[in-house]
Amino acid sequence: MPRPGRNTYSDQKPPYSYISLTAMAIQSSPEKMLPLSEIYKFIMDRFPYYRENTQRWQNSLRHNLSFNDCFIKIPRRPDQPGKGSFWALHPSCGDMFENGSFLRRRKRFKVLKSDHLAPSKPADAAQYLQQQAKLRLSALAASGTHLPQMPAAAYNLGGVAQPSGFKHPFAIENIIAREYKMPGGLAFSAMQPVPAAYPLPNQLTTMGSSLGTGWPHVYGSAGMIDSATPISMASDYSAYGVPLKPLCHAAGQTLPAIPVPIKPTPAAVPALPALPAPIPTLLSNSPPSLSPTSSQTATSQSSPATPSETLTSRASALHSVAVH
């Protein structure tokens, strides 16, 4: 096997789908949401391959953002300069790559319109992000320093900060560390063959260590994530696009008090309990080896719903599950 020389592999396509790349980018940001341009930047910063043919892959990436329910759009606050919305991961998408492959998911995450009892409505997502942000911000304020890389608190709705170990499955640290995790190749047991051209890193630790070392197609390090994706919304998240007027496609609809993702639910969203349990569970503290018991599992309806149907969200309540 040829040694992965810098230029030998660095410009090769990384073994990640656009979805996983995007998820990584989003997950790497303190707010767990990024504008499109930052997602581009994240990817280009770390994967030299994507510094070329930008038109092509960026178009694909945008397609993925719109097309996949696992990504939700969160409007900018009115006072936030810039174009476009922020993109975040649907709180219930859990670990779409639990099979270990970042090239191909086992199932596509889809938000379904469901009867009742939607475990997680898109609105929750925004609410979550809001809360998370606040948590982090308060943590920040408390510590008086730069935000520690602690997505943990994010999903820990209890508000009690986790020991700081938790990382969302999409956290780049996890993604990369996971591949790496099993010495004997265990990790790969369930894994899609990663192109031989992409030897696994030899020494990634869960965090802190440089992603760069031995990782030909990746530049940067976990540590630089913060600097790469500076906190763009420094304060009060409560205002997230509150007006939300552009959100309503339908005139008569009631707008939630909190920012809601645009696509998934034009529909009347029943008032949410402050913080439904289901969501946190999913993203919560599950160690990188995720529990299959995630809400993803829910009732997979033998999807009579075509993608397009799903997209045309005119449902009442939404239900997120991994459909098949």
Partner DNA sequence: CCATGTTTAAGTGCAA
Partner DNA sequence: TTGCACTTAAACATGG
User: Which residue ranges make up the site for DNA (CB under 7 A)?
Assistant: 16-19, 35-37, 40, 56-57, 59-60, 62-68, 73, 83-85, 87, 96, 101, 103-108, 192, 246, 262-263, 303, 308, 311-312, 324
The least CB distance from residue 202 to DNA, in Å, is 24
Q: List alpha helices for 109-261, DSSP H.
A: 122-143, 151-155, 172-181, 186-189, 225-228
224's tokens: 């630089």
Smaller CB distance to DNA: residue 107 or 209?
107
Smaller CB distance to DNA: residue 36 or 150?
36
Residue 118 has phi, psi (to 5 degrees) of -70, 120
User: Which residues contact residue 273 at a Cβ distance below 8 angstroms, ignoring those fewer than 6 apart?
Assistant: none
Q: How far is CA 272 from CA 127, 140, 277, 314, in A?
A: 10, 28, 11, 18
66's tokens: 């719109």
296 vs 255: CA distance, rounded Å: 27
The least CB distance from residue 205 to DNA, in Å, is 27
The least CB distance from residue 255 to DNA, in Å, is 16
Pairing of strands 71-74, 33-35: unpaired
Smaller CB distance to DNA: residue 93 or 135?
93
The least CB distance from residue 109 to DNA, in Å, is 8
Contact 79, 290 (CB under 8 A): no
Smaller CB distance to DNA: residue 73 or 168?
73
Local structure of residue 249 (DSSP, 8 states): S
The least CB distance from residue 93 to DNA, in Å, is 11
Smaller CB distance to DNA: residue 64 or 285?
64
